[in-house]
Structure 1
Amino acid sequence: MTTATPAPAAPGAAAEPLSQLARAKVNLFLHLRGQRADGYHLLESLAVFPAIGDLLEAESGPGLSLALDGPFARELSADGDNLVLRAARALAEAAGLARPRAALRLVKNLPVASGIGGGSSDAAAALRLLARLWNVGLPADLAARLGADVPVCLAAPGATLMAGVGERLAPAPAMPGFWMVLVNPLRSVETRAVFAASVRKDLPPGPAAPAGGFAGFADLVGWLRAQRNDLEPAASALCPAIPEVLEALAGAPLARMSGSGATCFALHETGPEAIAQAERLRAAAPGWWVAAAPVGA
């Protein structure tokens, strides 16, 4: 992740806030491998982090506060249930800070409840920034206590293989850089409803990744085509706009839904190809959220 380190402040001047890009988390595939007795689903996935996301800033303040800004700020609340504040309070408690002090500002650039880990990535960014601001360590289990996707977001920006309920993480085999087009029809899909509507919970694994990594973009795409997103059928039934988005992306080398939806992605080898497709989609569907960004940058 890119982190801006503040320069020393001049005497009497306020220090610049720390900032971090809370990157989108995109599941290039997602396999349902079972369900535990406690209801948690067992998954296999490959998560990547394109260079696009929310922006979180943190600086000293009289207490603990959160301000919201950005195109999707109105869809969030800055109250105590916000994942950023939950992460801040959890870290403060773990560090023994009775009166944590931080003024946080979240620029919400990613759609809410969109299957690209926005809230989890925001929480991970909060943990990183506040650990620096407060000069405290991060307990090993803290991220997992905040949510199943927070640990992998804390590991960003490297591509990561996920297993179990999100607690088993491993670096992905070496892969080439590429570009991605992200499209959300601005329809929220409730993750719990998608899992509940997915009838099969014990689907087979996909082909294993080559131990030596991928020779190039075509090699990576060929392997990904043999994988699946097992939540896509249920999410498409709950949100008919998802098949429309996938149809609009069909000309790309690979198009698939991310996570539990409704965001879908298309992979491209080069930036000009991705940017051109994004521009066409913005013109054809002005009501959709469309973005193009590199992966591995």
Structure 2
Amino acid sequence: MSTTAQTPASVTVSAPGKINVSLQVGPLRPDGYHAVASVYLALSLREDVTATAAPKPGIAVSVTGGGPLRIPVAGIPLGPDNLVARAAAALAEHVGIADPAVELTITKRVPVAGGMGGGSADAAAALLACNLLWGSGLDAAELRTLAAGLGADVPFALEGGAAVGLGVGDLLTEAPAGTPLHWVLVASSGAGLSTPAVYGRLDALRSEAESGGADPAPEPYAADPRVLEALRTGNAAALADVISNDLQPAALSLAPELVPVLDRGRALGALAGIVSGSGPTLAFLAADAASAAHLEAALRSEGHNALAVHGPVAGAQRTASKT
């Protein structure tokens, strides 16, 4: 670790939301977790976290909504359990800052509890922002170690791009990606979905199926090679045939109002549609940028909270400070 002679008064870092282009989920383990084989794709919808030196010790968190998806922020916890506060506290402890004094302002653009890792993006952004604000000098490997302690998706938000996640999603391997792929996101107009609730519903559905004679879910040990090849070549049509999400039946069971939206997106020209992670955000794959823009406009004209995005994009990175 090194310390710089001068540190800035404020640092803003952005980090990307993500979708799971492919998500295989194994059976419930004795420790309460599920092994997964996931293919992550970082998207151009990004969160901002601004870290500002505070006049007295403490980690203060505030949040504002931003961006075209009109993300509501009421009810987001702002205490020490917020991931950005935990990220700042973890970094301070790691580098020996006994009484950190920082104000952390989150600009939310990724749907809250939407299956896109918005909280993980916030944590990644906070780690990098505080590292720069305090002149801590941690390198990428050290930041990744801290990120892994905050949640399975946080290391990917630091790295960005495309990656395969194994284990509980935290064992990351970079996945080569070709030309950008274009998507249209539709944020739910209702409440978000709890990730534990969706996994719990998945377990219940599987138990019911197994009692009727179905085979147990297999342990996932590798990502679908067809998905990786489509990503590598940037072939949207090929990817449309193989994207999948084992959590989708559970998410749709808990939020059945998503089913007609999925059907409508496909009818309007999407190559494929999928629930993003644990939902309820939907991601529609488009053939190209023009097709994504057309689909966004069509969905918006019908009252849906839609946005065209692309990926892969870079992970957490410093941006111009807010004024």
TM-score (norm 1): 0.86
In the other structure, the counterpart of 2:111 is 111
Checking the alignment, whether the CA contact within 8 Å between 2:49 and 2:106 is kept in structure 1 is yes
Which residue does 1:72 correspond to in 2?
72
1:263 aligns with 2:281: yes
In the aligned structure 1, how far is the partner of 2:8 from the partner of 2:170? 36
**Deviation of 1:104 (Å):** 1.4
Counterpart of 1:253? 271
Q: What is aligned with 1:44? A: 37
Runs of at least 5 residues in structure 2 that lack an aligned partner in the other structure:
1-5, 66-70, 207-215, 314-323
Aligned equivalents of 2:172 and 2:40: distance in 1? Answer: 10
Distance 1:225 1:146 in 2: 34
**C-alpha deviations, 1:15-62, integer Å up to 9, x for none?**
673212221111111111233321111011111111112211112222
- 1:162 to 2:165 alignment: yes
Per the alignment, residue 88 of structure 2 pairs with 88
In 1, Cα distance between equivalents of 2:18 and 2:229: 24
**Corresponding residue for 2:12?**
19
Distance between the aligned counterparts of 1:268 and 1:25, measured in 2? 16
Indicate the residue corresponding to 1:195 in structure 2: 199
Q: Is the 8 A contact 2:144 2:155 kept in 1?
A: no
CA contact (8 A) 2:24 2:245 kept: yes
Distance 1:263 1:133, change over 3 A: same
Distance 1:247 1:230 in 2: 18
Distance 1:295 1:214 in 2: 10
Aligned amino acid, residue 176 of structure 2: P
Of 299, 312, 318, which aligns to 1:296?
312
CA distance change for structure 1 residues 130 and 164 in 2, over 3 Å: closer, same or farther?
same
Instruction: State the AA in 2 paired with 1:143.
Output: A
Instruction: Report percent identity of matched pairs.
Output: 33
CA distance in 1, matches of 2:122, 2:246: 26
Contact 1:179 1:293 in 2 (8 A): yes
1:129 match: 129
Of stretches 206-215 and 32-41 in structure 1, the one that deviates more from structure 2 is 206-215
Match of 2:41, as an amino acid? V
> What are the ranges of 5 or more consecutive residues in structure 1 without an aligned counterpart?
1-8
Q: Does 1:143 align with 2:161?
A: no
- Is the 1:111–1:186 Cα contact (8 Å) retained in structure 2? no
Q: Displacement, 1:175? A: 2.6
For 1:208-238, what per-residue CA distance to the aligned partner results, in whole angstroms no more than 9, with x for missing partners? 24887757443x5424523420010011011
- Aligned residue for 2:31, secondary structure, equals coil
Alpha-carbon spacing, 1:92–1:25, altered in 2? closer, same or farther (3 Å) = same
With over 3 angstroms needed to count, the CA separation of the structure-2 counterparts of 1:147 and 1:237, relative to structure 1, is: same
Instruction: Note the 1:224-263 alignment, pairs <5 A.
Output: 225-250=241-266, 251-263=269-281
Asked whether the equivalents of residues 31 and 203 of structure 1 are also in contact (C-alpha less than 8 Å), the reply is: no
- How far, CA to CA, are the matches of 2:9 and 2:94 in structure 1? 26
C-alpha distance 240-174 of structure 1, shift in aligned 2 (>3 A): same
Task: Report the equivalent of 2:209.
Answer: none
- Report if the CA contact (8 A) 1:73-1:107 is conserved: no
Show CA shifts across 1:164-216 (max 9, x none).
10221011133321211111223311111111111347347564248877574
Which amino acid is the alignment partner of residue 284 of structure 1?
A: E
Q: Distance in 2 between matches of 1:243 and 1:253?
A: 16
Tell me the CA shift for residue 122 of structure 1. Answer: 0.5
* Local SS of the residue matching 2:44: coil
Paired residues, what number? 281
Determine the structure 1 residue equivalent to 2:317.
none
Structure-2 residue corresponding to 1:3:
none
CA distance in 2 between counterparts of 1:204 and 1:145 reads 24
- The 1:233/1:48 distance shift into structure 2, 3 A limit, reads same
